[in-house]
Structure 1
Amino acid sequence: MNLKIFLLIVLLQCWSSEALKKEPRTGIVFPDPYQSKRLQKTGVRTKGPIKVYAIGQYDDTTFLLHMTYGVGAEKMTDALKDALEPRLSNKNKNGGDGSTDEELKEFEQLMLKGLPKGASKGTQLTFGTGGGKLSLQVNGKQIGTIKSKPLSKAFAGIYTDRKAVCTLKPPAVEEGAANDGEGTIDSIFGIPKKRLLTVAGAALVGSIFGTYI
């Protein structure tokens, strides 16, 4: 690779990692963009004093759930089903073309398929609700899709309607924030970022003007 291009990539990597967007109560950093979508809001789902998961809402009502507390597959599934059921029932009563019980069963099967070992701390679940479909990815792996406009809208409503299970707000932006101790951006290629910026910047200038450091 051309030296100038390599040095430019290093500098861009350092600069782009300066400002990170995170959910402030958990310290979880959310990627932005994520799968070509921009982060809009973040929040945290709690049960009593326990912070169960941080959530990021992206364009096209895509939701990224980052588990901050380990939960069994059945328990996680039941919690989301309990939130879905009243919303889904209302939508099917008001012109939906599906059966609430059937759609909840499909959702349950999708969740259990994606969480064979439960939702341990650090697990990421991505729910897409655009286009009249509800899709699920677990840790970046596509699990499946349910074609149901009422179901997809009901899921989005869990986090966006007047009775949302948590409040979503614009994410906190911090310089050099770390992801809850699970990997920091203080170094790149094992070299402290500030030192790398200094050396790479000087080397790039030197290469442009013919002086190599």
Structure 2
Amino acid sequence: MLRSSLIILIAIAAAILPSEVSAAAAAMVDPATKISFDDSIGGLSLFGVGVRKKGPIKVYSVGMYSDSEAKDAMSSIPKSNKAYAISALRSSLKNASGTTFLLKMNFKVGAEKMAGAIAESVEPRTSDKAAVETLKKLIVDGIASKGAAVPGTKLQFDCSEAGVKVSVDGKEIGVAAGLCQAFCDVYLDEKAVSPALRDSCIENCCS
């Protein structure tokens, strides 16, 4: 009797434990899609998460990561002054060692269409059109082997002085030089494609 009870308890624990571990690993969940993001990536801390919508369609969730110094710089900024907080956030990232945007697909989008949408957002924010074309090609090349950016696909953009490094599902594709600030502004300036991400960063990092 004791042995059978012990076996049942072990089975219950085995069934529960994975979900508990998964919940602990997810520091933030995008409320719009219920997609979760870990609290750090590549040594960078999670600032916030948000959804990218196209009309009523929730295309993907995005998490922004940057270094602890940039996050500390935001801790004294009052979230009540939103315009000032946005400006301070953009300024803090200029001095960061690196900033990463992790996109997790929620809706199926073809390789060309996905790459084109991102490139069209970056293009007005830079004068380097050749670099934008390079970025577009890297995204297409990364997604092409899958046929499309299906739900669950992860597109990672590591922004640094070297440019924007593109990775798809953990596989590095290449680097588009000179687009760091422009790519960050896609998500953080006054015309940000995901206001929810920008608001989340302010809510989580400001005082």
Check whether TM > 0.5.
Answer: yes
1:152 paired to 2:159: no
Partner of 2:13: none
Distance 1:78 1:146 in 2: 15
Identify the structure with the greater helix proportion: 2
Q: CA deviation at 1:16?
A: 8.4
Distance 1:19 1:81 in 2: 32
Q: 5+ residue gaps in structure 1? A: 1-10, 90-99, 174-213
Q: Secondary structure at the match of 1:163?
A: coil
Distance 1:39 1:64 in 2: 10
What is the count of residue pairs matched by the alignment? 150
TM-score (ref. length: structure 2): 0.66
Q: CA deviation at 1:19?
A: 6.9
1:83 paired to 2:121: yes
One-letter amino acid matched to 1:165: V
From 86, 107, 112, the equivalent of 2:135 is: 107
Matches within 5 A, 1:94-173: 100-116=128-144, 117-148=147-178, 151-167=179-195, 168=197, 169-170=199-200
Show structure 1 runs of 4+ deviating over 6 A.
none
Percent identity of paired positions between Structure 1 and Structure 2? 39
One-letter amino acid matched to 2:124: P
TM-score (ref. length: structure 1): 0.64
Q: Deviations over 1:72-106 (max 9, x none)?
A: 011001111111111013xxxxxxxxxx3311221
From 106, 118, 129, the equivalent of 1:68 is: 106
Distance 1:137 1:123 in 2: 11
Distance 2:37 2:118 in 1: 21
> Greater Rg, structure 1 or structure 2?
1
Q: Which has the higher contact order (CA 8 A, sep 6+)?
A: 1
Inter-CA distance 162–16: structure 2 relative to 1 (3 Å threshold): same
